[in-house]
Amino acid sequence: MQSSLLDTLFLSEKRKELLLFLKDGTKDSDDIKAAFDFPWKSMIPQIKKLVEWDLISYKNGSCTLTTMGEVIAENMGRFLMTLKTHELYRNYWLEHDLSPIPKKLIYRIGELGYCEILEPKPPDIFKQQEEILRRMNGSDRIMTFISIYHPAQLIILSELVEHGTKLDLIMTEDVYNMVRGDIVPNLSLIQSENSIFSSLKEEYEKELGNLFKDKLSEIFVYRGNLKPLTIIVTDRFLSLTLLDKEGKYNNSSITSSEPSAVLWGEALFTHYKEKSYRLTETERCSIRKIEN
């Protein structure tokens, strides 16, 4: 009795790997022997099985995917990567609230590929931010979503912009109100007559001025309730921070430098960008009484 197609593909590591290997194009026997640590004789029965299912054609010692073979190999690759992403980072997905990720991107979670969980521990609790900053340096473009107000974060973005980085920034409305001065000036620390605090305040407002005056940058405000803590996407990596299942911030981020993860991150950022409104020139210049 003929085995099912599922059995043919998933009960043999050789057949599965060969089908995925052929996604890159036609391969001859030398290519296959060089790619796999198997004797060529052991590959011949696997090739015959795939030919029987019309997944590959075998001519003159070369293997090529059929049209349906291409379809199955493409979808199988995505499925296997989704399984791997879940298996490797299962605890992160289990412990965090995934609702800010739209369904269409949850279904593509395998595109994150191989990730790293950045979870700083005392005493070096700033190591995570230092690592993310290191990866941001030298980027041509940064897309970031922030829902937590931290002056240092805006100063870092301002310095990157000064060095020619193109910035797309989305702030939640709460963060925007704080930056705009509705909340921060009421803090006694900032209002202190102490010369040190006054100097820090002056420097901070100068950096804000540089950030909000930059002509190449776009700044948006998001007013929705469903949101991640932070999204950072550059041309080289993605960093995503989510609340835990109890709605608390545990300071852990999942990052990836896979090209497919960067594209996935761009899609997530665009999802929130489309739900935000772009600050006008007048609104940008009103931040901290910035002059035109």
Domains of the chain: 5-77 (1.10.10.10), 97-289 (3.30.870.10)
Among candidates 50, 105, 100, 49, which has minimal Cα distance to 82?
A: 105
Cβ-Cβ contacts under 8 Å for 26 (sequence gap 6 or more) = 62, 63, 64
Query: What is the C-alpha to C-alpha distance for residues 60 and 55, in angstroms, rounded to an integer?
Result: 17
Q: Is the separation of the CB atoms in 162 and 186 below 8 Å?
A: no
pTM beyond 0.75, yes or no: yes
Q: Which two tokens mark 124?
A: 């070096």
Report which residue type is found at 269. Answer: F
Query: What is the C-alpha to C-alpha distance for residues 16 and 6, in angstroms, rounded to an integer?
Result: 10
How long is the chain? 292
* Per-residue pLDDT at 27 exceeds 90: yes
Q: Which residues of 128-145 are buried (b: 16+ CB within 10 A; e: fewer)?
A: bbebbbebbeebeebbbb
What pLDDT, in 10s, does the model give residues 257-275?
Answer: 999 999 999 999 999 999 9
Report which residue type is found at 24. Answer: D
3-state secondary structure (DSSP) of residue 209: helix
Query: What is the C-alpha to C-alpha distance for residues 266 and 239, in angstroms, rounded to an integer?
Result: 11
Cis peptide before 151 (omega within 30 of 0): no
37-41, 101-105, 262-266: the lowest-pLDDT one: 37-41
7 band by pLDDT with thresholds 50, 70 and 90:
confident
The DSSP code for 244 is B
